[in-house]
Structure 1
Amino acid sequence: MLNGIIPLYKPRQMTSGACVYQLRKLLHEKKIGHTGTLDPDVDGVLVICVGQATKLVNYLLNSAKVYRGQASLGTATTTEDASGEVVAQKPVLKAIPQAEVLTALQELTGPLTQIPPLYSAVKVNGRHLYEYARAHEFVERPQREIEIYRLDLIKEPEYQAAEQIELLDFEVECSKGTYIRTLAVQLGEKLGFPAHMSQLTRIQGGGFQLAQTVTLAEIAAAMAEKRTDFLLPITQVFPDYPQVELTADAWTQVQNGRWLDLPKQTAPKLKLTWQGVTKAIYRRQDNYYYPELMLLKNDR
C-alpha cells in the first residue's frame, strides 16, 4: 500500500476528477483524494493524497492558495471565464489608468463576500448550481464569506485598442472557497466594466509550489521503472511545526486521543512522532495540547 503526497501538475482541459482516476490506474491504489478542485480551464498545483495521507484532505483544503490570473475587461460570460457564452459587452474606449486599477485591487483585499458562479459545483437543495444552469432554472445562489490576503498587479495593464478590451494580470493569495472567476468579475465591477477571467494558474496549494509539481507522464514513467520517488512523505506537509518525540507513556495517551501536558513547549502546533514517524498534530490550548489531526497508521 502506498502512502504519501503528490504535488501534481494538472493540465488544462482535464478535470481534477480525471486526474484522480488516472492516478488510481497508475498506482493501483483506490484510496486517493485531491485537496481542492481546479476547473478544466485552470492548470497548476493539485495536491493529491494517497493511502493514509487521505486523512489530510480536509486539513489541506483549509490552507491558503495562490493563483496567477488574468481578467479581461469589456466582456462578461455565462461561466465567468473564457469558455462561456458572451452575455454582456461594454467597449473599453481608452486605457484605464493604472492608479485606478491598483485602487480597485486594494478595495478587493481583505474579507469579501462572493456569490458563486452559476456554473459551479456548489450545491443548493441537493443539486449543483451548474445543473440549474443547464436546465435554465432559476435558483438563488448563496453568498459566501472569503478572504483575499493579497491581490497584486504583476504587469502593466494591457489595453488592446482593436478589440476595445483591457487585460489585467494579477496574483492573488486567498482563503478556501474563493472563486477567482468571480473575483475577476468583481474587479471589472469596481472599474465599471463587464469582465471575465481569461486565464488562471494555481501556483501554490497545500504548501507546495508550482516548481515542485510532477506530471502524470512523469509518474507513469516512474511506475514503469518501479520507482515511487514522486511520492512525498506525509511529514512534508508540516515542515515548520516543532517536532516532539513521544515517550512510551505519551504515545499510549496519544493513541487514546488524550490531551498532553508538555510544559517545555510553547508553539501553537506540534508534530508528534513515535520512533521517528509522525503520528499526530497537536494544537495548544490553555497550556495543554489536544489532538488536531491523527495519523496513527501512516508508515512514512
Structure 2
Amino acid sequence: MSRRRRGDAVDGVLVVDKPAGQTSNGVLQQVRHKLNAARGGHTGSLDPLATGVLPLCFGEATKFAQQVLEADKTYLTRARLGVRTTTSDADGEPVQERPVPEGLSRADVEAVLERFRGEQKQTPSMYSALKYQGRPLYAYAREGRTVPREARPIHIRELSLIEHEGEDLVLRVRCTKGTYIRTLVDDIGEALGCGAHVAELRREAAGPFTLGEAVTPAELEELSRDELRQRLVPADRLLSALSMITLDGVQAVSISNGQAVTIAASSAESSVESGLLRLYEGERFLGLGELNQGVVRPRRLMRTEN
C-alpha cells in the first residue's frame, strides 16, 4: 500500500528573500513546514552566502518551475579585489593574494568589463552543483580533486559598475541561466591582474519575480500559516513570459484529457505561430501547451478536480 504524503495540497509560488548563511533547500523546508505543504521545490539554488529572490513552488506550481530555471536572473554583487579563494567567494580559503594595480581607475575597470558583456563561454566552478559521473562537482572539490568541465555558452545582458571604492567593485549583472557570478568575478579579477572573489551577492530578480514582492526573513517568522498562504501567487506567474491562448469549453475538456486541439490562426496572443503557450478556459489556468501548425498539444497541466 502506498504511503500517503503528509501535508496539505497547497498550490502556488512564494517569493522569499533568502537570508545569508542558509541553503536554498533549508529555506524551502522551513517554509514548506510552516505552510504544511505536501509538495514543494525551488527554482534553482542560491549559494549559502547569497541573499535575495528565491521563488519557492508548492503543489501544482512545481510542474512549471523549469520556466524560471530557464529565465534570466539579475544580481548585485560586491567583488573584493586582490584575493582569490578556493570557492571564488568569501566562504572559501584564500589561495592567492596580489596587490590591486596602483591608480586603478573607473575607466580601467570599465574597459575590462566590456570584455565580459554579451555572448561568451564560461567554465563552471568546481564548487558548483553540476554533476560529473553522477556526483556534484563540489563533492570532488571537497576531496581536493579537479575533474573535466565543459565551457558553456552564456549571455551577460548587463554588466554595470555601480561603485568603485578602494578594493571593492559593486556590479549589477543580468544574465542567462547557467551563469556563475563567482566565476565571472574571478575571471574579471584575473583580467584586472589582481584576482578577486565575491564578498557579497544578492539576487534582485529571477524571471518575473523581484525583491519587491519577496517575503523577508522577519516576515517568515512573524506571519501565521494563513497569512503566509495569502502571500502565495498563482502558478501561472511562472509562465508570464509566454504568450497565452484561451480555449472554449470543448477544447478545454479535450486538452484536460491529454488530447490535442486545433485552433483558429488568430486565437493565440500576438499571433504566435509556434512554441510554448499558457492555456486558459476563461480566467481558469489549465497549464502549459505547445502550438505547432495550428495544433495545440498539452505539455504540463494543472490538476483537475474530480
Same fold (TM over 0.5): yes
Aligned equivalent of 1:258: 260
Retained in 2: the 8 A contact 1:53–1:298? Answer: no
Aligned equivalent of 2:6: none
| Aligned CA distance change for structure 1 residues 127 and 237 (closer, same or farther; 3 Å) | closer
Aligned equivalent of 2:100: 92
Q: CA deviation at 1:120?
A: 2.1
Does residue 272 in structure 1 map to residue 270 in structure 2? no
Range that drifts further, 87-96 or 243-252: 243-252
Q: CA deviation at 1:147?
A: 1.5
Cα distance in 1, alignment partners of residues 38 and 252 from structure 2:
30
Does residue 177 in structure 1 map to residue 183 in structure 2? no
Aligned residue-pair number? 291
Cα distance in 1, alignment partners of residues 20 and 125 from structure 2:
19
Give unmatched runs, 5+ long, in structure 1: 160-165
Cα distance in 2, alignment partners of residues 191 and 178 from structure 1:
20
Cα distance in 2, alignment partners of residues 140 and 207 from structure 1:
34
Q: Which amino acid aligns with 2:272?
A: A
Retained in 2: the 8 A contact 1:52–1:298? Answer: no
Cα distance in 2, alignment partners of residues 218 and 31 from structure 1:
22
Range that drifts further, 14-23 or 289-298: 289-298
Deviations, residues 69-93 of structure 1 (Å, cap 9, x unaligned) = 0112211000100111111111114
Aligned-pair identity (%): 34
Aligned equivalent of 1:113: 121
Cα distance in 2, alignment partners of residues 227 and 78 from structure 1:
38
Q: TM-score, normalised by structure 2?
A: 0.87
Range that drifts further, 277-286 or 57-66: 277-286
Retained in 1: the 8 A contact 2:42–2:55? Answer: yes
Does residue 7 in structure 1 map to residue 8 in structure 2? no
Retained in 2: the 8 A contact 1:222–1:228? Answer: no
Q: Which amino acid aligns with 1:267?
A: V
Retained in 1: the 8 A contact 2:263–2:296? Answer: no
Does residue 127 in structure 1 map to residue 135 in structure 2? yes
SS at the partner of 2:303?
A: coil
Deviations, residues 74-120 of structure 1 (Å, cap 9, x unaligned) = 11000100111111111114231212211221210112222222222
Structure 1 segment 153-168 matched on structure 2, within 5 A: 153-155=161-163, 157-159=164-166, 166-168=167-169
Range that drifts further, 2-11 or 251-260: 251-260
| Aligned CA distance change for structure 1 residues 243 and 27 (closer, same or farther; 3 Å) | same
Cα distance in 2, alignment partners of residues 216 and 262 from structure 1:
48
Q: CA deviation at 1:270?
A: 4.1
Does residue 187 in structure 1 map to residue 188 in structure 2? yes
Q: Which amino acid aligns with 2:92?
A: G
Deviations, residues 51-85 of structure 1 (Å, cap 9, x unaligned) = 00000111210010000001122110001001111
Give unmatched runs, 5+ long, in structure 2: 1-8
Retained in 2: the 8 A contact 1:72–1:197? Answer: yes
Cα distance in 1, alignment partners of residues 21 and 138 from structure 2:
18
Q: CA deviation at 1:257?
A: 4.1
Aligned equivalent of 2:42: 34
Deviations, residues 153-195 of structure 1 (Å, cap 9, x unaligned) = 112x112xxxxxx211110111111100000011112222211
| Aligned CA distance change for structure 1 residues 227 and 9 (closer, same or farther; 3 Å) | closer
Cα distance in 1, alignment partners of residues 51 and 248 from structure 2:
45
Does residue 82 in structure 1 map to residue 87 in structure 2? no
Retained in 1: the 8 A contact 2:57–2:65? Answer: yes
